Structure 1
């Protein structure tokens, strides 16, 4: 183990030419994405908000074909994102891969101690029943929704924009994989107008996307989730999470279109599946290793592959 300036630690063997950043890399899917990318010989910068947890995560990975380096990152903080960009520029002068994995559920757990039940709790339940259990054991508030959008959408955008100049320095196309969800599919929106506008990538802009999200939060503030659902935002629980992931999908497509002609960037979305993590209170079907594999498959697509696409558990699928 060796130390790095700027709140970073390193584990692994001599590094490789490709460099990846994984946000929210200290546990769950993010940690497994770090492990699997390092297994491919890629130097991985594992980021997390908490330095102690991030350092422990690096240590837990042991020695791998590629280096694993920790650097602190709070995706809700502009300066934190810029510090990471500065570190990457000084240390590597570029960035090949960005996996935006950091996210929160945007809900408050109602389980007695806030902990995730064990596997026995969900034995015999199918995915629908497990999701129903999750919905019945959490609640959503305006503040939860606000924090959810700030982390899941604006955090993804903030980190992407900070690191984009480094991604564009690569000799081969830089790669951005935004960890998404089937909860972000447009079919979940009750309003045909909202579905149509969010799917109209030829005309949708980042500024208009911000306006739509502001309208969602205004509906939330005025009448809570009941009003939001009545206005055509997703129903059935986890509303802010669904809106945030739909926004991530739309932003990814806008970004891919912006860089499409230059072939300088591949931007895709990856739904890892319903995974056993803290966010799902351990109710998922897949292991973190299986979920991460579905993300890494998209990262490792060949040069010239699809951009602006959505992959569900490794297979291309529609955004709707």
Structure 2
């Protein structure tokens, strides 16, 4: 309309963080806001999300907003997209942090962290695996949330990211999502018992690489030039069918946090497919390390602040930086 005053463009970067009300997600919100980014903190629960925003504002971080988001609800995702389009017209950074473990605790969890004193990382992981149980319902929820929920968020917000001059997607993943399962190795064990081609190290810390047993699945998930979303759907469907038939080991699937591992592996693969299709964006996966959170039952060795810093560094990669890559605790590494 003639004479209308146009709204000036919003100059600060805009970020959405899923699962932002606690743990790593809350710390990602705090650190991004501290770096001058406008943050839309999202959470399933409106009260917890709003309380988290007030907590950050009490630290002097004012440019933080809350928007409710349930990543398994298409209408909730659409509402977030409409809000972003109306308020900002674009999205610069998407951090996909929301996730579920998909397991049950075998007993009431002792929340006293002192029990982990004197345990190394491998012993802590062993404790966790002894205190959880995979279930069919949990496996379905894990796949639906950690893969399909995250994928739907990405697909819906992608046009807004493409409207940015430098869109970024940081998908929070895990070493469990690699095409191997990694365990910390004490130096004496590493030097005396493990063949050199079966371990690797990050920042001087050695990890044992126990590969997923099904070679065909590993190759398919790593064949990004030929892998399709439809084939990922088929593989996830086969996994759930084998889970229900109690045939995971028979078909070479991982066990112990099985659905969490498979969902993260599938999201890693989808991230790489997406990066190939959208060269102008920076789309990466980041493993924050083994962090003290509710999901790890507080057994982690890193604080949420330390884990979040790795995620934020990937979310703020410079123009022309890596895309379709995997970062582990601050360093670019291999998906396999």
TM-score for both structures, normalised by structure 1: 0.90
SS, match of residue 275 in structure 1: coil
- Report whether the alignment pairs 1:244 with 2:263: yes
SS, match of residue 180 in structure 2: helix
Question: 2:84 corresponds to which residue?
Answer: 88
| Residue 300 (structure 1) shift | 1.2
Of 41, 44, 57, the match for 1:46: 41
Equivalenced residue count is: 296
Question: 1:129 corresponds to which residue?
Answer: 123
- Report whether the alignment pairs 1:179 with 2:172: yes
Of 244, 254, 262, the match for 2:273: 254
Of 299, 302, 306, the match for 1:286: 302
Alignment gaps of 5+ in structure 1: 1-14
1:1-320 matched pairs, under 5 angstroms: 17-61=12-56, 62-64=58-60, 67-112=63-108, 115=109, 117-170=111-164, 172-188=165-181, 189-223=212-246, 227-235=247-255, 237-260=256-279, 263=280, 265-320=281-336
Tell me the distance in 2 between the aligned counterparts of 1:49 and 1:116. 26
The superposition leaves residues 208-266 of structure 1 with CA deviations (integer Å, 9 ceiling, x where unpaired) of 1011000101111122xxx112201113x111110010011001000000112xx2x11
Alignment gaps of 5+ in structure 2: 1-9, 182-211
Question: 2:195 corresponds to which residue?
Answer: none
Tell me the distance in 2 between the aligned counterparts of 1:213 and 1:238. 15
The superposition leaves residues 22-71 of structure 1 with CA deviations (integer Å, 9 ceiling, x where unpaired) of 00000000000000000011000000000000001001112445611000
Tell me the distance in 2 between the aligned counterparts of 1:117 and 1:221. 31
Q: CA RMSD in A?
A: 1.2
Tell me the distance in 2 between the aligned counterparts of 1:116 and 1:257. 45
The answer (yes or no) to whether the contact 1:44–1:66 under 8 Å persists in 2 is no
